[in-house]
């Protein structure tokens, strides 16, 4: 700021207030200060900002390694940074393993004052992280919902609607014996997806084939092996609903290992965060979950909470988008 003051001929206090867009500083002066600041690459010193204001200007995104495997991290980070770009806030990603204590990274952020707000995911119906953050009155938003009776900001995908519509699509193709590759049972969206699946079975006259040996958190090898065994049995399903795009790849490998053919012996509907599955296997029906939009909504929610907005006004739910089959190139 001393350099900007020297180059503009203004006092340091005036420069500081101009950079903060203070109302008592004229528009022409603000523009002159901002132009010089941009020319010299000025950035506020975060340590100095914290000493002066008590704020870090940091939003922490706490993600597990499993979310990286499922392709969630990159589009979510992009969505968050698109919103933060117009604010003083910066994003810090805090990774952790789901095999460790999920309260660990939250306690660290709270105890060290490492951020002004936090975004968490993989929500449980009664999530201890929500309890702790609420007790400490710390701004946060969740990717997913809870069932605790605590109002908090969230963005979620309607997994119940996804599973219900997936059953509809399979029944429309004449499939009646359906299987669900579901989320792990301790997460909230397991019950959402399972409930939507079961309602679809009832409404459209299909039956469920049991497949509880694995879920979307298992390794792709474990999913493939379990599904190969099921497809080779007398209880093989003819319709498949996959709760993840990566899991769908393992299911397809299991089908083919059992010497069955997707599209003939069984049809599949999968939730996906990108187009990759449609490109690789266009015979799979896909429903799109826009993780980038989720990142944008979560960033807006946590900033809104920092600004003191009521949590009930910072809640959103996105709907699945059915993707039409990928057009094949005409044969030569």
Structural domain boundaries of the chain? 1-43, 58-157+291-322, 159-288
Q: Residues 50-60: what's their mean pLDDT?
A: 73
pLDDT in tens, 221-243: 999 999 999 999 999 999 999 99
Tell me if 58-157+291-322 shares its fold with 159-288.
yes
Q: Which string of b and e fits 241-266 if b means at least 16 CB within 10 Å?
A: bbbbbbbbbbbbbbbeebebebeeeb
The class of domain 159-288 in CATH terms is alpha beta
Strand 285-288 relative to strand 321-323, pairing:
antiparallel
Look at residue 71 in the predicted model and tell me its pLDDT: 57
Look at residue 275 in the predicted model and tell me its pLDDT: 85
Instruction: List beta partners, residue 235.
Output: none
Q: What is the pTM of this model?
A: 0.82
CA distance 20 to 25: 10
Confidence band of 68 (pLDDT split at 50, 70, 90): low
List of residues 6+ apart from 17 with CB closer than 8 A = 24, 25
Look at residue 48 in the predicted model and tell me its pLDDT: 56
Percentage of the chain with pLDDT > 70?
Answer: 91
Indicate the fold that domain 58-157+291-322 takes in CATH. Answer: Rossmann fold (3.40.50)
pLDDT in tens, 242-261: 999 999 999 999 999 999 99
CA distance 277 to 112: 42
60, 92 Cβ separation under 8 angstroms: yes
- CA nearest 288: which of 265, 268, 318, 261? 318
pLDDT in tens, 101-150: 889 999 999 998 999 999 999 999 999 999 999 999 999 999 999 999 99
């Amino acid at each position: 700021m001393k350099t900007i003051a020297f180059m503009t001929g203004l006092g340091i206090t005036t420069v500081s207030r101009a950079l903060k867009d203070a109302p008592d500083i004229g528009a022409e002066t603000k523009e002159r200060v901002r132009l010089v600041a941009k020319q010299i690459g000025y950035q506020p010193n975060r340590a100095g900002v914290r000493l002066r204001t008590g704020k870090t200007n940091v939003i922490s995104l706490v993600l597990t390694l499993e979310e990286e495997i499922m392709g969630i991290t990159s589009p979510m980070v992009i969505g968050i940074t698109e919103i933060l770009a117009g604010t003083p806030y910066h994003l810090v990603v805090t990774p952790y393993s789901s095999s460790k204590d999920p309260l660990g990274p939250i306690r660290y952020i709270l105890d060290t004052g490492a951020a002004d707000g936090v975004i968490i995911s993989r929500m449980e119906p009664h999530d201890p992280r929500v309890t702790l953050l609420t007790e400490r009155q710390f701004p946060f938003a969740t990717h997913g919902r809870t069932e605790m009776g605590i109002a908090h900001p969230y963005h979620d995908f309607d997994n119940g609607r996804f599973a219900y519509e997936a059953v509809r699509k399979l029944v429309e193709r004449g499939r009646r014996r359906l299987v669900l590759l579901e989320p792990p049972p301790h997460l909230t969206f397991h019950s959402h997806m399972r409930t939507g699946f079961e309602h679809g079975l009832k409404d459209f006259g299909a039956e469920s084939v049991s497949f509880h040996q694995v879920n979307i958190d298992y390794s792709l090898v474990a999913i493939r092996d379990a599904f190969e065994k099921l497809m080779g049995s007398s209880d093989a399903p003819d319709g498949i609903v996959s709760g993840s795009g990566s899991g769908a790849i393992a299911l397809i490998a299991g089908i083919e290992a059992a010497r069955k053919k997707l599209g003939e012996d069984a049809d599949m509907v999968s939730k996906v965060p990108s187009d990759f599955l449609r490109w690789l296997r266009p015979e799979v029906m896909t429903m799109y979950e826009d993780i980038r939009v989720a990142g944008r909504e979560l960033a807006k929610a946590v900033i809104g909470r920092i600004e003191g907005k009521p949590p009930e006004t910072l809640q959103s739910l996105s709907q699945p988008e059915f993707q039409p089959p990928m057009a094949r190139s005409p044969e030569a």
